[in-house]
Amino acid sequence: MEENQEEKQAAQTTQEPAVEIADGPTKVKDSEPSENGLGFRAFMILGLMSLSLLSSLMVARSPLNTGSEAKVAVGLDSETANVIPSWLPGIGGGDSNKDGIAIVNVYGAIQTESSGSPWQDASGSDAIVKQLRQLGKNQRVKAIVVRLNTPGGTVGASQEIYQELMKLRQQGKKVVASMADVCASGGVYIAAAADKVVANEGTVTGSVGVIFSLANLESLLEKVGVTAVNIKSGKFKDIGSMSRAMTEEERRLLQNLVDSTYEQFVQAVAKGRSLSVEQVRPWADGSIFNGVQAKANGLVDEIGTLQDAVELAQKLADLPEPHIIRVPQNPLENFQMFLRNMFYPSFMGKEILRSTGMLGASPLLYLWTGGVSL
């Protein structure tokens, strides 16, 4: 009996964590904290990279992203592609001879910088234009559906996507715009490049116009005792400075800039929708409206869903079936963007920095500000 009690006490002693007696609360020693912490972080990083790779391979496994052409698309030369087994997920063979329809998403505020994560497609005009160019080189892509869920964004980024879609149409590819929850301002500009536009009945669209936002922090700077000194080569060199009020001459200059950019917008919508400028101007005052009203204004061709847009693209391209195509994603690029965006401000944060002159980005926007949430 005594031996059994001693064994139990010994076992309990080995199970109890080592306790260090010190002044204040009792502390439990943590054995090798640095190695455990590093091991966990390394495990998490490897896990994220693995998920990113699998996500990319799943995208590449799409029926049209298979066969030798798909192997080249994901970064392999033709000789290497030919020796890769057909069963390898995301790179192997499949029904690679089918013509089909590609879907390109334009989600969130439109801006030049790319953003994304290992689990979603990259966004930003640079990434979207890159996708469109890839699709333009793929002879099996006969039509493209642009899925728009955006309040708009910067003028330059919106125009770059518009121009790339126009190039695809010149190549003979059909383009259909599908408006989701919101397709306003810069989203409308992009939709104007499509052969046909489809929207839901309740889609919020419109907001055709331009906004140029700047902040004036002169009073705030005075309260905290900060005085800005600018030495400039010309009277307009510090136009839009947050440290002083805008002069009337500067205001006229910026108004001319906005008016000129607005004319570009109106002309693009009129051309894309086969309307006259006089037909567009009455509702091109920043007004927003729903899908039904947009159709009455000539901004939308049909009321319908994304599936309806895909079927319309199939009909325009004279395809026997709505075979869907997706552009292969580079997992390393998406992972790099994911890490970068963890330490980079959101669009609304960028807007605050832009308005104060602290971020090198254009304050000239095709944007419905009511569609941007904090």
Q: Which residues are marked as active site?
A: 185, 237
CA dihedral 18, 21, 25, 29 (to 10 degrees): -30
Looking at residue 356, what DSSP letter applies?
T
Q: What is the CA radius of gyration of the chain?
A: 28
| SS3 assignment, position 95 | coil
- Residue 355 phi/psi, 5-degree rounding, is -65, -20
- Residue 237 phi/psi, 5-degree rounding, is -65, -30
Cα distances from 329 to residues 144, 157, 162, in angstroms, run 17, 21, 22
Closest C-alpha to 228, from 238, 215, 237 = 238
Long-range Cβ contacts of 65-71 (<8 Å, 24+ apart): 65/90, 65/325, 65/326, 65/327, 65/328, 66/91, 66/92, 66/93, 66/94, 66/95, 66/96, 67/93, 67/94, 67/96, 67/97, 68/96, 69/96, 69/138, 69/140, 70/94, 70/96, 70/328
Q: Quick check: 98 and 323 in contact, CB under 8 A?
A: yes
Cα distances from 47 to residues 53, 54, 342, in angstroms, run 10, 11, 17
CA distance 40 to 36: 6
